[in-house]
């Protein structure tokens, strides 16, 4: 039988890398996208039991996203699953942040999802396959000091929810997956007010869900064709439910949690 094909953006580290390993374990052929092609090549060598196509891709470029999909179809003839995982974060209050930082967040997190989905959609429709968007709890609740991040994740959720409804009768599966805090590089590469990378995470990564655990849960959700999934419990399902019932209380809790971070931008 012909192997299924998954395209994963942001596959060079964190959740994207863990997803690549999980789908390879399940026998999928892989198309891996990221800017760091050297990491993708190293991952290809590791996942040598399946066919892996690394493609250097900047998801803020429509041309790069089109090239990614074109190369995937040229090599494998189809796409069964697209996982829009590429993303960046930020850490600065809105008063201080430069507007370019907000544009960069939206370009990577939101427009990267739109571009890849636009070019992959005709091929995925043929397979009655899956389109996945990786957001976070910040796509349901505003996170202080992360205006651009939360805005972009809310936007991805709204975009993919609408795509799901538009193609409701087509057999297309759309999943919006929202991990809570997950151990990855995203906090190290988060942008501060002037656009520089933060460099060090303000949180204890060892206490977070592992990227591998997150990827395993997401794989099952894709396999079972779930439409929405908040992956974490206390920093995910519970806090989102509380926000529906006691929004004023959640505002206070979220503010205090982020204010207590080391070197918090909140005053």
- H or E segment to which residue 155 belongs: helix 147-166
- C-alpha to C-alpha distance for 140 and 52, rounded to whole angstroms: 34
Inter-residue contact 53 to 32 (CB < 8 Å): yes
Q: CA-CA distance, 218 to 214, in Å (whole number)?
A: 6
Name the active-site residue from 110, 149, 219, 255: 149
Question: What is the maximum alpha-carbon separation in the chain?
Answer: 59
3-state secondary structure of 124: helix
Task: Clarify whether 149 is annotated catalytic.
Answer: yes
Q: With contact defined as beta carbons under 8 Å apart, do 209 and 183 qualify?
A: yes
| CA distances, 184 to each of 17, 46, 53 (Å) | 10, 19, 23
Known catalytic residues? 149
């Amino acid at each position: 039988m012909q192997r299924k094909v998954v395209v994963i953006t942001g596959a060079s580290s964190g959740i994207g890398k863990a997803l690549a390993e999980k789908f390879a374990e399940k026998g999928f052929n892989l198309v891996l996208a990221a800017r760091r092609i050297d990491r993708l090549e190293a991952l290809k060598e590791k996942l040598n039991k399946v066919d892996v196509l690394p493609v250097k891709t900047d998801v803020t470029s429509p041309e790069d996203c089109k090239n990614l999909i074109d190369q995937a179809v040229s090599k494998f003839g189809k796409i069964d699953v697209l996982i829009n995982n590429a993303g960046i974060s930020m850490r600065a209050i809105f008063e201080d942040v430069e507007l370019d930082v907000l544009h960069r967040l939206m370009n990577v997190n939101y427009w990267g999802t739109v571009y890849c989905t636009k070019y992959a959609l005709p091929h995925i429709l043929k397979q009655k396959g899956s389109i996945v968007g990786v957001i976070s709890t910040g796509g349901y609740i505003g996170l202080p000091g992360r205006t651009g991040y939360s805005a972009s994740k809310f936007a991805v959720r709204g975009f993919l929810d609408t795509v799901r409804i538009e193609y409701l009768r087509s057999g297309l599966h759309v999943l919006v997956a929202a991990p809570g805090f997950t151990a990855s590089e995203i906090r190290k590469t988060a942008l501060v007010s002037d656009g520089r990378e933060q460099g060090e995470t303000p949180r204890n990564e060892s206490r977070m869900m592992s990227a591998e655990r997150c990827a395993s849960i997401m794989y099952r959700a894709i396999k079972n064709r779930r439409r929405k999934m908040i992956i974490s419990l206390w920093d995910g399902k519970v806090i989102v439910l509380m926000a529906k019932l006691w929004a004023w209380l959640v505002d206070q809790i979220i503010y205090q949690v982020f204010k207590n971070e080391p070197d918090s931008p909140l005053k």
